[in-house]
A = this chain, B = another copy of it.
Amino acid sequence: MEKKRDIVTMDHGGGGRAARDLIERCFLSRFDNPYLNRMDDSAVVTLGTDRLAITTDSYVVDPIFFPGGDIGSLAVHGTVNDLSVQGARPVFLSAAFILEEGFDLADLERVLDAMAESTRRAEVSIVAGDTKVVPRGRCDKVYINTTGVGLVEDGVHVSGSNAQINDRLILSGSAGDHGIAVLSQREGLRFDTELVSDSAPLNRLVGEILSGTPAVHAMRDPTRGGVAASLNEIANQSNVGIVIREAAIPVKEGVRSACEILGLDPLYVANEGKILVFVGPEDAPQVLETIRRNPLGREAQIIGEVVSTHPGQVVMKTMVGGTRIVDMPLGEQLPRIC
């Protein structure tokens, strides 16, 4: 019998089953409403005469600076991307900082410079802010919350619960770059090739996809828990089966080597500039072409499809010709990755 869990564990912060259990047990039961219950990356709500998307994320990544980014740019990109994958155009962000007493102001300014640059690149404005300071040892340098508001155009209905049988599944590029870059930096690991986070704002790419093909069914940016967690979420939300082909999933050579050494599966490692797109088979070639034309999607591949068998389950055809179930991760493979 499993020991009763009565305290918060690191697993509760992962993108996996423990986190999902906590959310269902503690949060959904209390804040029951149709927007939250959808469990999408953003809530789509109607306010006044407009459809808005709203999303929130706190960033606690360690270390705060890593190859390819830092906590500031990540906080902008992550929230921009959560709005984008809901089919929304990100417009306004709030930014709230919890600072640890003694944190170097020069480092804070470096983080803020990166944030400002990211907001310019993503064409969003930070319109509301907050700063709190806690004593030494009650934070780790800086935590940032960004909450985003975007506008959803008429005719766009993208949701994790909207994947359809026969949909093709496109991944916009290589898997696992962000997680491995952060982990290597944190642990001081050195590999032959440089490992760089893919952290980037996806709103322009998503805009290009939707302007060509508004009938995209589902999108998700595979962050915590990686491609595996995102696919399991969508298989569950849409109550469909998903089949992916291992050979089709792009993984950078350096990431693959690092994963082998560290005993990690790139499918479960966080990305911060990649997108999964579910679209009907007739629209898939055009969407793939659109994605590949964008610099952030050059290595895009159709990695699988949606099937009517094994609803709720993700299955992978492996390179050696076998088949294995791609489970939801249990807990935290890589703590504080975002």
Contact = CB atoms under 8 A, between A and B. Distances in A.
A336 interface: yes
A12 B129 contact: no
Most chain B beta-carbon contacts within 10 A, residue among A43, A128, A138, A139: A128
Contact of A132 (B49, B52, B58): B58
A133 B96 CA distance: 17
A212 to B, nearest CB: 23
Contacts of A332: 133
Given A94-B54, A96-B57, A143-B98, A335 B104 contact: no
Interface in A199-245: none
B131 A43 contact: no
Contacts of A65: none
A147 B94 contact: yes
A8 B127 contact: no
Interface stretch (A19-27, A283-291, A298-306): A19-27
A60 B8 contact: no
Contact of A47 (B50, B126, B131, B135): B50
Nearest to A152: B48
Interface stretch (A106-114, A162-170, A263-271, A311-319): A106-114
A323 interface: no
Most chain B beta-carbon contacts within 10 A, residue among A13, A59, A108: A13
Given A104-B7, A126-B31, A132-B60, A47 B96 contact: no
Total copies of this chain within the assembly: 2
A135 B99 contact: no
A145 B96 contact: yes
B96 A7 contact: no
B129 A27 contact: yes
A100 B47 contact: no
A129 B36 contact: yes
A330 interface: no
Contacts of A35: 92, 125, 127-128
Given A30-B116, A116-B30, A10 B143 contact: no
B92 A131 contact: no
Contacts of A11: 133
Contacts of A129: 23, 27, 31, 36, 56
Given A42-B128, A54-B94, A96-B145, A30 B139 contact: no
Given A19-B131, A57-B130, 5 more contacts: A8-B105, A26-B109, A55-B128, A135-B336, A137-B137
